[in-house]
Amino acid sequence: MTIRVLIADDEPHQLELLSYNLEQAGFSVSQAQDGQQALDLAEQIMPDIIILDWMMPNMSGIDVCRALRGIMATNQIPVIMLSARGEEGDRTLGLDVGADDYVTKPFSPKELVARVRAVLRRTRPMLMGDVIAFADLKIYPSKQIVERDGQRIDLGPKEFSILSLLLERPGNVFSRLQVLDHVWGHGVYVEDRTVDVHLSRLRKALNHNPDGKNYPDLIRTVRGSGYAMREPE
């Protein structure tokens, strides 16, 4: 799975330099040259992580980050803020509006690539191919293998994608819109009922015990809001 990065910076040289280094590191990169374009692209392509320069025309990186956190479909996307402003108050503001990391200029492209990987390991471990453990589940993302209590579980690609999303932030509620955008892609028309059908299949697969007794349900339905992973009671 190729990880998608959106970079927003109004300095063409910086944009190309960072894009080149991220692509060399195996990431897929999209570019924006101002804040409004960054916000529009984020909603269109749903990147896995966003890198925002603080000072940009039309909308600052701070305003873009604040807007992203206020949109249901984008509020879980990790954000790294870039800025020449290194004062503590500026770093605090960047983190307060929802940035996951704050990088002060000047910095090396290799440092930024390392920061991207570190943020993804912390916020989206499923993308990084690490083994994920939750309750009695073990997930091997690179092999798309799921085990419960040591028993292999066969999941379809859609069900595996939904499980991956829910496990990125256990306890967080993901709306149907977020599930649709993550699994089927932004702008693809799929009825809400389709999400419910695939959630039902996922639950059935996860809860089936070869001994004939069902395992405790790990997926919580939050009426009117969406779905979340939960520890068994």
Q: What is the mean pLDDT of residues 215-226?
A: 88
Among 36-45, 126-135, 148-157, 203-212, the minimum mean pLDDT is found in 126-135
Amino acid 89: pLDDT: 67
* Position 187 confidence tier, pLDDT thresholds 50, 70, 90: low
- Whether 70 contacts 210, CB under 8 Å: no
The pLDDT of residue 41 is above 70: yes
Q: Which CATH superfamily is domain 4-123 in?
A: Response regulator (3.40.50.2300)
Q: What is the mean pLDDT of residues 140-144?
A: 81
The pLDDT of residue 141 is above 70: yes
Instruction: Give the tens place of pLDDT for each residue, 158-181.
Output: 999 899 888 877 888 888 888 888
Distance CA 115, CA 121 (A): 10
More confident residue, 89 or 197: 197
Among 39-43, 90-94, 120-124, 191-195, the minimum mean pLDDT is found in 90-94
Distance CA 217, CA 231 (A): 9
Secondary structure, 3-state, the chain? CCCEEEEECCCHHHHHHHHHHHHHCCCEEEEECCHHHHHHHHHHHCCCEEEEECCCCCCCHHHHHHHHHCCCCCCCCCEEEEECCCCHHHHHHHHHCCCCEEEECCCCHHHHHHHHHHHHHHHCHHHHCCCEEECCEEEECCCCEEEECCEEECCCHHHHHHHHHHHHCCCCCECHHHHHHHHCCCCCCCCHHHHHHHHHHHHHHHHCCCCCCCCCCCEEEECCCEEEECCCC
Instruction: Give the tens place of pLDDT for each residue, 110-135.
Output: 999 999 999 998 888 777 766 788 88
Ramachandran angles phi, psi of 164, nearest 5°:
-60, -45
The pLDDT of residue 101 is above 80: yes
Amino acid 75: pLDDT: 85
Amino acid 1: pLDDT: 62
- Please state which of the four CATH numbers 3.30.2130.10, 1.10.3470.10, 1.10.10.10, 2.20.25.570 is assigned to the domain occupying 128-229: 1.10.10.10
The pLDDT of residue 212 is above 80: no
Q: Encode burial over 38-66: b for 16+ CB neighbours within 10 A, e otherwise.
A: bbebbeeebbbbbbbbbebeebbbbbbbe
Adjacent-strand bridge partners of 49? 5
Amino acid 158: pLDDT: 92
* Position 86 confidence tier, pLDDT thresholds 50, 70, 90: low
Q: What is the mean pLDDT of residues 144-148?
A: 89
* Position 68 confidence tier, pLDDT thresholds 50, 70, 90: very high
Q: Mean of the per-residue pLDDT values for the chain?
A: 87
- Whether 137 contacts 148, CB under 8 Å: yes
Query: For residue 64, which of 127, 119, 10, 3 has the smallest C-alpha distance?
Result: 10
Distance CA 10, CA 32 (A): 8
Percent of the chain with pLDDT over 90: 47
Query: For residue 80, which of 123, 20, 43, 30 has the smallest C-alpha distance?
Result: 123
The pLDDT of residue 91 is above 90: no
Residue type, position 136, single letter: D
Q: Where are the domains of the chain?
A: 4-123, 128-229
Amino acid 129: pLDDT: 67
